Structure 1
């Protein structure tokens, strides 16, 4: 089975596919499209429509009722294996890219030329052990969505192999458990690659083989992908099995490691049991070789890496479980296990030259995995108010390579790109350069910028928590924050210079830069306000969170609130331009991260609107406040006119309603997103918060 790219759609293919319904049985239905994908699925041609002579094909493969003489075997046509997938929504550019510096007035960001990495999408032969190569990511310069993945088809042999792998863990698998069909697994893998993978690109599909992957990793991908197919009930079953297998794998490796260590400790020739005088003189290289032989290096242990990746995907799934409290508790428990595995695997670089494309991909995948886990721990801090077990100072890795190099489809094209690329800088060097009082702006990839903005957010949150005093919850000492403000300006400059950056969630380079922009805006908000414990999704219901937001202290007018409100308003511009009712229901690159940030966007902008209400003004509005207020009114006017029961006239006639309207607008934006329960929880909070604000006017 080869997971391949599919041929372009044409009229001949459409005609052939139309005839497939004749061969299907009554119970067979077309495979539904995966939701929240940024790409487009093209139909799969059943027969060869080229210019070759088809007589040989008909004579050998055609069913008996076509009148061709041959063996009277049953017709082997499988509808589910050959059905076309419905195409996704054509995601053309729906609005211009806006500058991050001034989202209201600046021209579009100059994306500049992108390296030519056109992909040949014609080959789709089947193999028993698939290579996920050019068939998973069709990164074509002409496509707007280069991170989209083709449909993944799992053969019966692959399904049986996976079933056999799972049977090796009888204590984990329930006796009555029935594994999803190969069609469901194919659907879920596609859901993962199309929906989740673009936001957290840590596995390298081009160099992965289905039967070479650890079973816990496959099951974790399938569990996450089921949510993007709106079949989360399967994901919940797979979650416990995948997590159980991952933990059992770790337990077995620990036992093996202990037995090897004990065996070595009983060997009289083992160096540690010999007296110093009897030890031969070893140079540094020989000593390192002996230590490596005695204790396997976690840095090169690919099995541990795949288990780490599986646990990360499961932790992410459990984190976004929202209303499933048991899942959220398991996400918190998995955090400590992952932190230990990351440290064992290594948070520093080793100067090992890769032997080729696949070796390089493994090293880069390991680096990305550990850095993304560091970022996700920061998301736990934002969502649950839990301190991260990995701090900025612990990370001594290089930042990830460019997405251009990462998405190369074969060894030859990768080698050409790799020779043109420079070695990514160390994370600590980039972070230090951002903090320094110089005009030098470090260069980094989109994912590198994403990791750096996470690092700055961690520092901002740490400073705020360490200096929090009663009655000064929203105060930060200028001497501590000035380097971070300077770092944010430099980061913004680097973001705009990156050719992979975009203000659009539909950009062909993927959603990483768009997600980073959301965190950049959140960082500016955190300088002015911290809703902290009020927002925690760990122990509170939506009603409790809404009430705590309502009871929070009012923010005073001033430059800090103005800057935070500007970024909050800018964040609302994108979904309003697309259409607030459309965003949540259309395939896009919006992630749960945007939902988490939206709660703080809504709270901050409401605080600004309350502070600038005419009845409460202590002194007249300045020009910047007037300009921002006009922008907010224009944005809300667009929301009101696009809502069936909207009241555009209330924008000017009832200024006290502007705050509740902003909060409700964010609720409308998120209301159509059904992939993860955490988004549903945040949506409920926003609507409840808007209702409470209106009731207390």
Structure 2
């Protein structure tokens, strides 16, 4: 790259961006030597050299394979990560945000630090890149770029692909992807197609009508290809693309941390969200913990996104797409956070009580500019949730993703509340439980209006499963803790028949009804189609519901009191077992663990996502 790059503090100019970055560090008294694979920094070069040899040996030899567990068709290479450094601040988070995150234990998901992140914007056609990276690109990624139009469709694809490849150098500032082999034209197009067909329906943060591989930010495109490759069964490619996106975004995020303009970039938030989902469910449990170190970056950007929503109008179609994309990113950030909160111990986050316009309906989101009917004001998230907490149904129609975000906000609040208080704070506890119970009834009614016997819309199913998870945590939190400890440490954990809520019956009925529904649809059928149609976050409800029912069957002989009549519950369980006679006969002597047998079978498909199958393997060990 050529051109002049000026220091924002002393106005000194440099011919190369690397020289500018090195100069900027002198203003900040920062450690000048940084590991290219993680954020570890030092004032001594030999320390970084030794660090890379000790902790990134595989990454130095095979630069693009992450430390993940993938199916047998993967080539099995891995990339290590450095151990945590006590004084290490993740790049991209300012001191105030980091202090808040540490205070609320947001980083206490795992011991593995994260220093490489990826991001993606649906298309730069909605908003121009105004970051320091954009200063390097000039007008190459202008917001005025549109789809290439040629009479020959093949020529159009070739031109788009050529631009996509050329754009990568604009983001690979330090040329850490010198050995990276960009996928073929057909691989890129089929992966993007798979992403929009399978993942976008339940994670709709990329606007297909305005999407173009020629103009989209390269890290985002690479991460889309990674996600799409999962659905194609190309797990080795998915791993390489995911690792490449991480490394490019590490550079971008590190550069952004030096910027003073504070310009929000929606594509970075989009990428962080895709990265969080890929990392949380695309690998084994260790990879999920690693993903939890990605998510705080999304949290920080989500805070910025909320401020951006207050400043951006929706006068034109492109303005609306930009604003709507931000709303959808916030909604998906809440959903991912709720999923992590239900499987890890974490507290609330700064934006959980924030106000933002709920996303519009999917039919509106998918409209192109010709068919767009203009901007329609959406309900405010805080007002809608307060209305639901009061026991009333919102007067306006809530969209599919809006419903997911509201239920996820409820779940995340509930998981955070469990760590902040308990039944000893009687007044606070009682008031909160009453509000949640009213909200659950309203959400049930809203979902009941859209229930069909056939497979529902992916977003509606997500809302239903998240609501089930909320009920399980509201009434069966202690039991879930015991059962999860049993899954992790089968030789050490002990179960108690007395430590349960007096309203546990509601959670058990809910779990039994969910199991009955799955069994009636067909476990083998759901096992095959669910990974390709529904969010992997939905597997959490299946897992936790199975744990509750297994606890009930195991402890039933010793349950002395506290449960209402179990006749309905027993009938639901019996009806479910009748639908899986094969599994029932094969586990005749283990009827009390049959719910976990069913769940383990349901989650065993690892053709797309790997985390559910990891849970399945753990369950089979205790059955």
Give the TM-score normalised by structure 2: 0.69
Q: SS of the residue aligned with 1:662?
A: helix
Give the aligned partner of residue 174 of structure 2: 171
1:474 CA drift (Å): 14
Q: Is the 8 A contact 1:433 1:441 kept in 2?
A: no
Give the aligned partner of residue 506 of structure 1: 455
1:322 CA drift (Å): 3.7
1:674 CA drift (Å): 2.6
Q: Is the 8 A contact 1:129 1:210 kept in 2?
A: no
Distance in structure 1 (CA, Å) of the matches to 2:543 and 2:324? 34
Deviations 1:385-432 (A, max 9, x none): 233434422x22111111221122x323221xx47xx52111110111
1:349 CA drift (Å): 4.0
Distance in structure 2 (CA, Å) of the matches to 1:546 and 1:473? 32
Distance in structure 1 (CA, Å) of the matches to 2:204 and 2:553? 39
Gaps of 5+ in 1: 1-127, 133-151, 259-294, 299-303, 692-697
Question: What are the within-5 Å matches in structure 2 for residues 426-575 of structure 1?
Answer: 426-436=380-390, 443-468=397-422, 477-497=429-449, 501-502=450-451, 506-507=455-456, 510-530=457-477, 544=488, 546=490, 551-555=494-498, 560-575=503-518
Give the aligned partner of residue 222 of structure 1: 225
Distance in structure 1 (CA, Å) of the matches to 2:191 and 2:348? 31
Give the aligned partner of residue 263 of structure 1: none
Q: 1:212 aligned to 2:172?
A: no
Count of paired positions: 473
1:206 CA drift (Å): 0.7
Q: For the aligned residues, what is the CA RMSD?
A: 3.4
Deviations 1:304-347 (A, max 9, x none): 1112211211121111144273x445422222222222223334
Q: 1:606 aligned to 2:550?
A: yes
Give the aligned partner of residue 646 of structure 1: 585
Give the TM-score normalised by structure 1: 0.62
Give the aligned partner of residue 520 of structure 2: 577
Q: Is the 8 A contact 2:604 2:613 kept in 1?
A: yes
**Between Structure 1 and Structure 2, whose CA radius of gyration is higher?**
1
Give the aligned partner of residue 119 of structure 1: none
1:443 CA drift (Å): 3.8
Q: 1:332 aligned to 2:292?
A: yes
Give the aligned partner of residue 133 of structure 2: none
Distance in structure 2 (CA, Å) of the matches to 1:429 and 1:164? 46
Give the aligned partner of residue 318 of structure 2: 358
Q: SS of the residue aligned with 1:221?
A: helix
Q: Is the 8 A contact 2:389 2:439 kept in 1?
A: yes
1:594 CA drift (Å): 2.2
Distance verdict in 2 for CA 1:296–1:555, change over 3 Å: same
Deviations 1:256-315 (A, max 9, x none): x44xxxxxxxxxxxxxxxxxxxxxxxxxxxxxxxxxxxx5653xxxxx111221121112
1:364 CA drift (Å): 0.1
Q: Is the 8 A contact 2:285 2:611 kept in 1?
A: no
Distance verdict in 2 for CA 1:604–1:547, change over 3 Å: farther
Distance verdict in 2 for CA 1:367–1:439, change over 3 Å: closer
Q: Which residue of the other structure, out of 552, 569, 593, is the alignment partner of 1:660?
A: 593
Q: Is the 8 A contact 1:166 1:173 kept in 2?
A: no
Deviations 1:102-128 (A, max 9, x none): xxxxxxxxxxxxxxxxxxxxxxxxxx9
Distance in structure 1 (CA, Å) of the matches to 2:280 and 2:378? 31
1:351 CA drift (Å): 6.6
Distance verdict in 2 for CA 1:504–1:162, change over 3 Å: farther
Distance verdict in 2 for CA 1:297–1:567, change over 3 Å: same
Question: What are the within-5 Å matches in structure 2 for residues 239-250 of structure 1?
Answer: 239-250=242-253
Q: Is the 8 A contact 2:226 2:241 kept in 1?
A: yes
Distance in structure 2 (CA, Å) of the matches to 1:332 and 1:193? 25
Q: SS of the residue aligned with 2:201?
A: coil
Distance verdict in 2 for CA 1:328–1:474, change over 3 Å: farther
1:348 CA drift (Å): 6.9
Deviations 1:191-246 (A, max 9, x none): 21122211110111112222121001100101111111111211221112212222
Distance in structure 2 (CA, Å) of the matches to 1:213 and 1:340? 22
